Every structure is written in structure tokens, then in C-alpha cells.
Structure 1
Amino acid sequence: MNYRSPSQVAAEACRLAQNKVSLSIGQMLLLGILAGAYVAFAAWLYTVVTCDMTERFGMGFTKLVGSSAFTVGLMMVIIGGAELFTGNCIMPLGVMAGYCSVSQMLRNWIWVFVANYIGSALVAALMYATGLWEGTIGANAVKIAAGKMSLPFLQAFARGIACNWIVVLTVWMSMAAMDIISKIGIIFFPIMAFLASGFEHSIANMYFLTFANFIKGSQMAALAGVSQEELANVTWRGFFDNMIPVTLGNIVGGVLFVACFYFLVYRRELLSLSNETADPSSRKKEAKS
């Protein structure tokens, strides 16, 4: 059998959480920066691919093509072994099964989230320096960000939930694959689906919103074809107005609908496996008590 069964994936996800909390701060920062950069490169590719397609092919097909291009981001993250905050929302499965503590998980989440932004901002600065954004690409970048920053809190939160439900499920399914080609195939379709559907990914938005703030004062803003009211939202306050509900939604989507649900399904197997792999001294203490 060249794949893992769902119960085996659950056990693998717990071991993955255990490995993640054992990373040093330096490792989390470096791997987190890489993940943020990989997603940012994919977001840049999405912006380039979709910059002039809508008028020719319509919005639906444009989103389908752009989202297909974006999938390369999570492929680089998973196959490259980087640390992505949204993907790490699967870690509560390991917490509930006893493989790591809440404090250890939160330590990982905080450092990785910060590092993801550093990586995203670095790529945003790099793309700004290239000058490749001048013209329709830059206008598209401002238009994408303006739409995101104009979302009401509840809509951004709900789209964040839907997004990371799919993203963490993708991480889950990718662990079932035992070879690279299978992982690529598994990653492609659900990631394409979440972005084409218009859902909100906090790490991708780190790039989209930061880059738009870099270029908003240029002539690109005038070419974006959005209302002045929407353009007024392209600010650093608008950045946080989007990031807060989307990040919270991402946490709910990944933790509740993937980690918690699968823990409830495989609770007995996971707790039994956790007891078997526990430190012998811990088992002796438990026996005495």
C-alpha cells in the first residue's frame, strides 16, 4: 500500500505536531520566512496571470486559471518542509491526543505567524524593486487588495473559516501520499478550489495587502478601476481590519472542522497510541497514582 489510511494520517498528524513543537526559535523563524515567501511568490503569480484575463474570458475562468497557478505556493511549502501558520492549525490534533501542550503549540503559532509575515513582506519589497508591477499588474494588485480591505468583519471571518477548512484538509490529505507526484496532485485541486471560490487566506493576504500599500500612491491606483471609497481602505489600518477576522476565521476553520472532527473520529486509536509511545517514567508515575 503506497498511501496512509485516514487513521494512519491521524497518527502521522500527531507526530508532526510533536516534531513542530520541538523546533528551535531560529528554525521556526527560518522555515516560517520561507513559507511566507513561497506563498507570496504564488500570490504574485496569481496577480500576474489574472491581470488582463477578465475582460477576455470572464471572471469565473480567470479565477480558475489564477487559482491553478497559485497552488504552486502550498506545493513549495509542503514539499520544501517550510512552516506555514495556516497549515499548522492541524496541530491541536496532537494537543488533544497528548503529543504536545497548548503552550508549546501557541509558541509555534506565534513565531511562525511572525516569520510568515517577514517572508511575505520581503517578497513584496522584492517585487516592488523589480518594477515588473508597473502597468496592468500593479493595477490588478491594488484592485485585489482594495476588495479584501473593503470586506465587513463577518464576511472576512466566514471566508477565513471556509479557506482554512480546505487548506488544513489539504495538509491532512497530503500526509496520506507517500510520493511527491501524489502530493502534488492532492495539493492542486483543493487549493485551486479555495482561491477560485473567493475565500480568504491570512498568509496570502499578508503579501496582497502589504504590496498594495507599497504601490497605492502610484498611478496604479488610478488604473485599478475601483471606487474612491474602496481605494481609501488600502491603508495599514485596512491591513489589520482584514487580517484580524481572516486570521481568526482561519484558526476556527482549521482547528474545529479538521483537527477537532478527526480527533473525535479517531480518539481511541490516538489516545492508545499516545500511551504506548509515552515516556516509560511517565507511565510508572501514572501507574503509581
Structure 2
Amino acid sequence: MSYVTPGEFVRKMIDAGEGKVFMSTRDTMIRAYMAGAILALAAAFAITISVETGQPLAGALLFPVGFCMLYLLGFDLLTGVFTLVPLALIDKRPGVKVRCVLRNWGLVFFGNLAGALTVALMMAVIFTFAFSMEPNEIGQAIGKIGEGRTVGYAEHGVAGMLTLFIRGVLCNWMVSTGVVAAMMSTSLSGKVLAMWMPILLFFYMGFEHSIVNMFLFPSGLMLGGNFSIADYLVWNEIPTLLGNLIGGLTFVGLTLYATHARTAPSRPISPEAGFVPEPDRVTD
């Protein structure tokens, strides 16, 4: 069967986190760069579909194609390593230290940013004919997204900041679920289907993804969005990063690790209860 049980794929999660910790700087940066670039292209693709069809759901349905491509190609998003890499530390894998986790996060952050910025510049050139004319309809839509999701939050003050943070938490709860879901199957079709569903949910619901935003907001600034770099950093990127970290690690990484890698002893059940549970593997 192509289905992988939770106990098995959680071990895969820990192994994947350990592998990323010890990956060379060159490979980490290349994989992160390509992940940021592909996800940015997928965001541009989804917005184009939404604008041209007038149906946001159509864009959301097709956005996961980018996520599936980058995952299957073995590239790394910051949202995914937020969830996987700390598990190697928590599991006390040899040689994995806090500084190793922070190194990986830093390299992936800058790699994702470079990839997203590259595509942001390319798409801005396309939307404006190399800045020789006003942005087309799609470029204008990206500029409006940047305004609404920076100064739009700022208008609500603390309530806006909390909303932004929670959207970041919910985003990586779903995105990291997609990363983990791909480990549930050994078949290509099973991996794609499992990834598609949570990524569709996050995009359509308008949750905040730090890497998607590395494309949307710099691109929006190039296309005449009425907000500043400071607005982007304070009223989107930084709170979104923190929300993504907490959402992925807390609701996906730690919960799965706690109940499938370090399971609690089962309570004995008498034969009169009518069934006997399968024994859980207990890790000391």
C-alpha cells in the first residue's frame, strides 16, 4: 500500500529535519532560492487567474501546483523548515544544536527572499512593459493587495496586528500539514493530492504566508502600491514570520511528535470491553 502510517512518517519528519541541519550552505541556498522563486511564480499565476476570471476560487484551486512542484523537486521553504528542523533538536539527534537550527532558518530565509525578489522584478517588468507604462490590470491588483495587507492592518492598530499574527499561525498550520501530508504516501499521485488540499485552504482563506509575501509586497511597491518598506516589514512580514513559526511548529511538528514519536503508555483494557488496542511504541 502507498499509505504510510503516522508513526512511520513522523520518523521521516525527524530524519528530514536532521538532513536539512547538516546540508551544505551551497545546497541550502540553492534549494531555498528555487523554492522562493517557484512559489512566487505560483502566486503570480493564481492572481492572474483570479483577476482574469473574476473568481478567486479558481486561483486558489490552481495555486498549489507551485507548492507541489517545489516539494517534489526537493526545494525548501522557510515555513517547512520551521516545522521539521527543530524536531531533530528535540529528538536529540547527534550533533544537532540550537545554532544549527538557527543557521538553517537564516540560510533558507535569505534564499527564499532572493528567489521571491527575482520573480517580483521579472513580473513587474512584464506587467509594465519594462516600466515603460502603467501596470496592467494584474499589476494593479498586486499593488492593491500590498496596500490592503499592510496599511489595512495598521488602520486597526493592535487588533490588526493580532489578526495578522493569527493569519500567519493558521497559514503555516495548513502549509506544514501539506509538507507532512506528502510523507503519508509513497506514490506521486498520493503525495500531490495530500499536499493540494491544505494549500488550497490556506490560499483561499487569505492566510498570511511569509514567502508568498516576499513576492507580493516588493512587487506591489514596484507597481505603485501606496505603502512603504517599513509598512511591509512592521505590518506584515515580521508578524507573519512569527505566526508561521508558531503555527507550523506548535500545531503540526510538536503535536505529531508528541503523540507518534514519544507516545504515552496505553492504559490496559479488560477483555470484557470487547476489543484490545494495538500496542503503541513507547519511546523513553
**TM-score relative to the length of structure 1:** 0.82
Aligned to 1:210: 218
Deviation at 1:213, TM superposition (A): 0.7
In the alignment, structure 1 residue 101 sits paired with structure 2 residue 101: no
- Write out aligned runs for 1:32-51 (5 A): 32-51=32-51
Aligned to 1:90: 83
Structure 2: stretches of 5+ with no match in the other structure:
130-134, 154-159, 265-280
Q: Distance in 2 between matches of 1:10 and 1:90?
A: 12
The count of aligned residue pairs is 252
In structure 2, the residue corresponding to 1:82 is in which secondary structure?
Answer: coil
In the alignment, structure 1 residue 157 sits paired with structure 2 residue 157: no
In structure 2, the residue corresponding to 1:112 is in which secondary structure?
Answer: helix
Aligned to 1:264: 258
Aligned to 1:193: 201
**TM-score relative to the length of structure 2:** 0.84
Q: What is the identity, as a one-letter code, of the residue corresponding to 1:261?
A: T
Q: Distance in 2 between matches of 1:115 and 1:274?
A: 36
Q: Distance in 1 between matches of 2:35 and 2:69?
A: 8
Aligned to 1:58: none
In structure 2, the residue corresponding to 1:161 is in which secondary structure?
Answer: helix
In the alignment, structure 1 residue 147 sits paired with structure 2 residue 143: no
- Worse-matched range after superposition: 106-115 or 138-147: 138-147
In the alignment, structure 1 residue 246 sits paired with structure 2 residue 220: no
Q: Report the CA distance shift for 1:267/1:181 in structure 2 as closer, same or farther (over 3 A).
A: closer
Deviation at 1:273, TM superposition (A): 10
Q: Distance in 2 between matches of 1:268 and 1:256?
A: 15
Aligned to 1:68: 61
Percentage identity across paired residues of the two chains: 29
Deviation at 1:161, TM superposition (A): 0.2
Does the Cα contact within 8 Å between 2:210 and 2:241 map onto a contact in 1?
Answer: yes
- Worse-matched range after superposition: 95-104 or 194-203: 95-104
Does the Cα contact within 8 Å between 1:98 and 1:274 map onto a contact in 2?
Answer: no
Deviation at 1:269, TM superposition (A): 6.3
In structure 2, the residue corresponding to 1:86 is in which secondary structure?
Answer: helix
Indicate the RMSD between aligned Cα atoms, in angstroms: 2.0
- Write out aligned runs for 1:13-32 (5 A): 13-32=13-32
Aligned to 2:70: 77
Does the Cα contact within 8 Å between 1:63 and 1:195 map onto a contact in 2?
Answer: no
In structure 2, the residue corresponding to 1:50 is in which secondary structure?
Answer: helix
Q: What is the identity, as a one-letter code, of the residue corresponding to 2:253?
A: A
Q: Distance in 2 between matches of 1:184 and 1:144?
A: 28
